[in-house]
Amino acid sequence: MLTKRIIPCLDVKDGRVVKGIQFVQLRDAGDPVELARFYDEQGADELVFLDISASHEGRKTMVEVVKAVASELAIPFTVGGGINTLEDMKRILRAGADKVSLNTAAVNRPELITEGSNYFGAQCIVVAVDAKYDPDLESWTVYTHGGRTRTERDVMDWVKEAVDRGAGEILLTSMDSDGEKKGFDLALTKAVSEKVSVPVIASGGAGNADHFANAFTKGQADAALAASIFHYKETSVAEVKAFIKEKGVFVR
């Protein structure tokens, strides 16, 4: 059985780590380089770095910050935000990232997934999906530009297309649960996990160690990502791992 992964996430804006609730009300959470070093020492399995305003502001991800963070890490490192072309991917990977996360650019031009997968391999390409439930449609809709823009894409259709085009992993964020600390959206996570053949990272809603266990057992996620509960020391990666091991979940 594959081991499940615990992944802290650095949402970076203007060179600082921030965290909000449902993508708004952002507050400062620290220096990205210091936090990267801390999580590497803590035993995190991977780290995700998202330049959350890059696509909205129409600029490139901060390469210098990426380099500084990468220099502190011995664990796999995914970077997203403002990556719109193959050249952007090359730049980020050269700066020290192991994987790139595509969101808005992939929705706008899905061929970008294929281009990246063909050039670097599927293991390098993460497609991030910001999902919000639509009660009228009784399904989830894809949002872009850091959750600011609603699209007409259905989440289930989009994740299948993304994987068909070469995505090696899906980073799935529930906008409804984000920052609420009431648990991951298990219905969404399970539905996507059953829809695709690649690993799914659950994101949005972690409030305690039990929520991680549920993401793996009930949501069928391969990895679970969290930000504020780690940044503000409400729990630690080590504590979460110890708890879910007791629940019979395989972790490193």
The one catalytic residue in 11, 88, 185, 222 is 11
What are the residues facing 9 on neighbouring strands?
48
The one catalytic residue in 130, 178, 185, 222 is 130
In the structure encoding, which two tokens stand for residue 209, read together?
Answer: 């160690």
Please work out, in degrees rounded to the nearest 5, the angle formed at the alpha carbon of residue 171 by the alpha carbons of 41 and 184. 85
Cβ neighbours, 10 Å, residue 94:
11
Please report the sign of the dihedral spanned by the C-alpha atoms of residue 21, residue 202, residue 90, residue 105. Answer: negative
Backbone angles phi, psi at 144, to 5 degrees: -130, -175
Q: How far apart are CA 159 and CA 177, in angstroms?
A: 19
204: Cα separation from own chain's centroid = 9
Q: How far apart are CA 222 and CA 74, in angstroms?
A: 21
- Whether residue 11 lies in the annotated active site: yes
- Whether residue 130 lies in the annotated active site: yes
Amino acid at 49: F
Q: Please list the active-site residues.
A: 11, 130
